[in-house]
Structure 1
Amino acid sequence: MAAILTFLVSLIGFTIIGVPIGFAVGLTAIVLMFFIGMPEPMVLARRLVTGIDVYTLLAIPFFMLAGEIMNRAGLVHDILKFANAIVGRFRGGLAYVNVVGSMLFAGISGSAVADTAALGSLEIPMMEKDGYDKPFSSAITAASAIIGPIIPPSIPMIILGSIAQISIAKLFLGGTIPGILIGLSLFGYSYYVAKRRGYPVSKSVNFKEFLQVFKKTIWALILPLIILGGIIAGIFTATEAGAIAVIYAVIISFVVYKVKLKEYPEILKGAALNTGVVMLVCGAAMALTWYLAVAQVPQSLTEFLMNFTQSKWIFLLVLNILLFFVGMVIDLTPALFLLVPILLPVSKAYGVDPVHFGVIVVANLCVGLITPPVGTVLYVTTSISKIKLEKLVQELMPMYLVLFVVLMLITYVPFLVLWLPSLI
């Protein structure tokens, strides 16, 4: 247990004093290196490099680049118009548009922050202009953004699959139904709020207008279908799907959306910067997890929990509580690297399916993105809407409850996660 305490105190300490998370993880690895009596810098350096020298991680820059290209092509406007054509005619329609827009954009970006930044800058002003409260507009934008890393393609699922040696294709499919359930639950809550507060009904779209919008948006809708269809059919792997997504995005950006070649240096720069941040954390975290394994932290934790309870269902409840609190203080990507190598062996000891475990972890940590004090999506939303953090969190409170219900469903009804992966 001394190794666990050293790990926790070091990581939390470095984070509290403001050390960037990638460097905080690396420094914690150095502390553990000395703690276990292996002060060999060459081993640390080798682990940093081999940590990102993983074939499956190639999918990350591919999907990030595809997302950057589609975003630059102005796809966001088309997605919102299409979502409005489907659900905008109902009371509180723009709240539904917000959620549907996030679900569709999730099939392109795979990132909650990208979803918030791209859609929030359009959705929040649009909702305000139509008579919606700013706190609610901001809250539904933040809450729906967490669908991004759950519905495929998902960058966190790629990272988790690489760490845990779980099929990324199965993780992608495992996240599909939970992502849809989160969207439907936010629909239900939005309907309740819209009726209670008297939010307006948007103008309905006739069939001719719907067809016009659909023709413009179909190119965006095809991409996630290609990715999922190809993976289910066994035509390509998740990494190859990333490369295909880039090729598809490049072709339609030139042919359909008329993106100019001179815009590509900025697109490549944006994708490279985002990839660099993720890979820095990946390398440092992989080094840290190696030292945790040497210190036998997973074995110690398994033994401790097995002495505490033999019940799989109580373990799953403890897992959800732990992930919720970790998600509040550590961002999604580093949390995956730090927790998965420790908790996966424990979950296997309790007989939890690895894909089920992976989806539970990602879904919980995604909720952490909208919980203070660290929630990244919260700060992106407040910077867009110019709303105080306290007001945003207050409006999010009922949504936390809604999301908790969905988390319990996917935790205690494994079929919701495992049905689609069982098809491949």
Structure 2
Amino acid sequence: MGGNVLTAVQAAEILFGVFFTLLVLRVPVAVALGLACLPILLIEPRLSPMMLAQETFNAYNSFILLAVPFFLLTANLMNIGGITDRLMNFSRSLVGHFPGGLAQINVVLSFFFAGISGSSTADAASQSKIFIEAQRKEGYDDSFSVAITAVSAVLAVIIPPSILMIVWGGVLTVSIGALFLAGVIPGLLIGLVQMGTVHAYAKARGYPTYPRATLAQVVTGFIVSIPALTTPLIIVGGKIFGWFTATESACIAVLYAGFLSFFIYREMDWKGLLNALGDTGRLAGITLFCVGTASCFGWLLAFYQIPEVLLSGVKSWGMGSIGTGFFVALVFLVVGCFLDAIPAIIIVGAILQPLTLGVGIDPVHFAMIGIISLAFGLVTPPYGLCLMIACSVAGIRMSAALKDTCLMLLPMLTVLGLIIVFPSIVMVLPNMISPESLR
């Protein structure tokens, strides 16, 4: 932009240089993003440090982002109110007889939990407390138990309703209903390859298996779980068919989970509700602080037209849609190792969006490539928040679980490759059920 003291290259060097320096010094990501903006705001005469507060407030002044704390609260109410226990019993009746029965239940419960909470960190925290010690008692290796618990937790940001989908749709103006539909088949495929991975491990290491449940036990487990299983249908169905917005669906999910916990399952009291509200407030505060400072960072990128400068060389490579898709996935995979998914969407998603539009990649397809790639970052060091949570609960170092985690990611990377090469995997449901949402 003409009249600026700094050029786009100089501004980019300061922004990214300060940010990565602070990360090396182990400054929290959200704080590092905000501090990286300050030198630019002080140097540029037309800007001022007050713009950090202003842009942060503008990011928070969003009706869509209200869905984030409500979905987190839904997850906490599920855990405290006994909803997760019902889903776990149903999962056991379905897959407990498969090789590595307890680990299979871990994956299936993550699949059900993902359809309600939308938060991988909430999933990792609750599943780690439930499964890691139980698997340890049944003879599972700690590294395997931690790895499968962390890896299965990433389903929560791929299967709708996903907090990342809500943030992506709000920031990059993509239909959230279409994103919800687009995540169904990739989520199923990733869940299946995770179950296949558990099967292979169980056969190789001799992990135990539960007796096959009778038909009566399966039916009973299903009937008891119907109220809980109805939650994702209410959330996703209501958004897709236009009955309510993403934020309204999150509010309804909270009311429904509270109703089940208080009046149907009757396992939550007022003390439990206060604990759920406290945990939600802490986690939502961390999440939304990242959104605010990342938004100011992204605003400065746009002010100096840095994305155009960064992509000018890439456009000359002449990549087609498939090549660009793999390039986008690689960028998000690398960024996800160092940065939380939400600021990565706000910063990197905004940079890459013009490139994908230029080669004809649908915005919904681009979103799913980005979200799935960022999901891997939740279990890859040095960030790897889900892996960090699982290791903390298990009391082991992250390096001890890294080998098994990487092995489990390989078949998931294959699914990501298929999604890039065959966009119909992502687009078939949005085109079939709600084509108008893609306009």
- TM-score bracket relative to the smaller structure: over 0.9
CA distance in 1: counterparts of 2:116 and 2:204, whole angstroms = 34
Equivalent residue, structure 2, for 1:329: 338
Structure-1 separation of matches of 2:415 and 2:41: 40
Tell me how far 1:86 sits from its aligned partner.
Answer: 0.2
> Which of 392, 399, 412 matches 2:401?
392
The root-mean-square deviation of aligned C-alpha atoms, in Å, is 1.6
Whole-Å separation in 1 of the counterparts to 2:365 and 2:271: 44
SS of equivalent to 2:156 = coil
**Which residue of 1 is the match for residue 256 of structure 2?**
248
2:82 and 2:261 in contact (8 A); partners too: no
Aligned to 1:71: 79
Contact 1:36 1:295 in 2 (8 A): no
| Contact 1:355 1:418 (8 Å CA) reproduced | yes
Q: CA deviation at 1:232?
A: 2.7
Q: What's the counterpart of residue 272 of structure 1?
A: 281
Structure 2 CA distance, aligned partners of 1:299 and 1:115?
Answer: 37
Per the TM alignment, residue 44 of structure 1 is displaced from its structure 2 partner at its CA by 3.0
Alignment: residue pair count: 424
Q: 1:183 aligns with which of 186, 191, 195?
A: 191
Distance 2:300 2:387 in 1: 33
1:133 Cα deviation after fit: 2.1
Q: Deviations over 1:288-342 (max 9, x none)?
A: 1111101101221232211122422222222111111111111222222221111
Match of 1:289 in 2: 298
Query: Is the counterpart of residue 344 in structure 1 residue 349 in structure 2?
Result: no
Determine if the alignment matches structure 1 residue 353 to structure 2 residue 352: no
Tell me by how many angstroms 1:34 deviates. Answer: 4.1
Q: Secondary structure at the match of 2:97?
A: coil
TM-score (norm 2): 0.92
Distance in 1 separating the partners of 2:250 and 2:219: 29
Shift of 1:184: 0.6
- What secondary structure is seen at the aligned counterpart in 2 of 1:225? helix
Please report how far the alpha carbon of residue 57 of structure 1 lies from its aligned counterpart in structure 2 after TM superposition: 0.9
Pairing partner for 2:174 from 166, 176, 180: 166
- Between 1:228-237 and 1:80-89, the stretch displaced more is 228-237
Residues 3-35 of structure 1: per-residue CA shift (max 9 Å, x gap): 333222121111111222111111112233345
3-state SS of the aligned residue for 2:316? helix
Match of 2:327 among 315, 318, 321: 318
TM-score, with normalisation over the residues of structure 1? 0.96
The one-letter amino acid of 1:163's match is V
- Between the aligned partners of 1:326 and 1:312, the Cα distance in structure 2 is 21
CA distance in 1, matches of 2:327, 2:45: 32
After superposition, the Cα gap between the structure-2 partners of 1:172 and 1:31, relative to the gap in structure 1 and judged at 3 Å, is farther
Identity of aligned residues (%): 37
Q: CA deviation at 1:36?
A: 5.0
1:59–1:242 CA contact under 8 A, matched in 2? yes
Separation in 1, partners of 2:65, 2:206: 47
8 Å contact kept, 1:163–1:340: no
1:141 counterpart residue number: 149
Please state if 1:110 is matched with 2:122.
no
Verify: 1:378 aligned to 2:387, yes or no: yes
> Aligned to 1:146, what secondary structure does the other structure show?
helix
The amino acid of 1:2's aligned partner reads Q
Q: Which runs of 5+ in 2 are unaligned?
A: 1-8, 435-439
Q: Would the aligned equivalents of 1:328 and 1:368 in 2 still touch at CA under 8 Å?
A: yes
8 Å CA contact retained: 1:161, 1:167: yes
Give deviations 1:82-127, integer Å, cap 9, x for gaps: 1110011122222211110100011121111111111121112222
Aligned twin of 1:233: 241
